[in-house]
Amino acid sequence: MPRRVSATDVVLAHLRAAIESGELAVGDKLPTEAELGRRHDVSRSVVREALRTLQALGLTASRAGKGTYVLSPRPNPVFGSYSARDLLEVRRHVEIPAAGYAASRRTQDDIDHLLTLIERMERETDSTAWVALDSLFHLAVAGASGNPVFQKIIEEIRDALARQSSFLNRLGDRRRQSEAEHRALIEAIVEGSEGAAVHAMAAHLERVETALHAIVRPGTAHTPHEGEAIHE
């Protein structure tokens, strides 16, 4: 079924089209929240959400006390201190091998923890709480690897992972597919299959990249390749 279009989606689409077409050029200041609300007949909270998404896409930047300005005519998603490309590169080199080690080194406590997390995710109705559980899940996989360095790296980027997860759920409707991918990974870890765990994590990250590309470049087919940036 097609994803329901919200008021935020409408405001976002209008502003994004204006920026990408050049109607709003780099350096231009966007209309105020109040003005955008009047134009689209929506609340300021709807406008704020659209503006936050524009900033996450890397199209705009907010200047304290001055407003929101166009930063780039092309999307380049940024999550906290890291670009989407930064995260994807690191995740490939950390989370894929960590998943393999987790399959061969996991303890029963690790398995119980991962199963508890995925069950909580599948029951969770609050999107913010779900995103927090998602980042905990990836941290738990790294912990199950038995290598504290993997866990330390994921802890360092945990906030960025949560922001990316929220972004993908908001614009890419990724939640249910992500849960299915997590389930496949847990099954491989429980079975102790290093190869299957590596494959499951690699497939998960590939689908994350595909979803990001679909948001950044809507309407274009894409098959990601290792080392490829998601923006052009």
Rounded to whole angstroms, the Cα distance separating 9 from 47 reads 10
Structure confidence at residue 131 (pLDDT): 96
Residues of the chain with pLDDT below 50 are 1-2, 221-232
pTM, two decimal places: 0.81
The Cα–Cα gap between 49 and 191 comes to: 42
Reported residue count of the chain is: 232
List of residues 6+ apart from 138 with CB closer than 8 A: 95, 154, 158, 161
Residue pair 188/199 in contact (Cβ under 8 Å)? The answer is yes
Nearest to 230 by CA among 158, 166, 164, 131: 164
How far is C-alpha 231 from the geometric centre of its chain's CA atoms? 15
pLDDT of the residue at 230: 39
| DSSP string for residues in 28-97 | PBPPPHHHHHHHHT--HHHHHHHHHHHHHTTSEEEETTTEEEE--SS---EETTEEHHHHHHHHHHHHHH
Domain boundaries, the chain: 7-70, 80-216
Q: What are phi and psi of 78, to 5 degrees?
A: -130, 130
Task: Please give the CATH topology (third level) of the domain spanning 80-216.
Answer: Four Helix Bundle (Hemerythrin (Met), subunit A) (1.20.120)
Q: State the Cα torsion 24-30-31-37 to the nearest 10°.
A: 100
Q: Can you give the pLDDT at residue 1? A: 44
The per-residue pLDDT for range 153-197, each reduced to its tens digit, is: 999 999 999 999 999 998 888 999 999 999 999 999 999 999 999
Hey, what are 71's tokens?
């930063």
pLDDT of residue 225: 44
Under a CB-based contact definition with an 8 Å cutoff, are residues 30 and 11 in contact? no
pLDDT at 13: 92
Write down the pLDDT at residue 4: 57
As a CATH number, domain 7-70 is: 1.10.10.10
Q: What is the pLDDT of residue 171?
A: 85
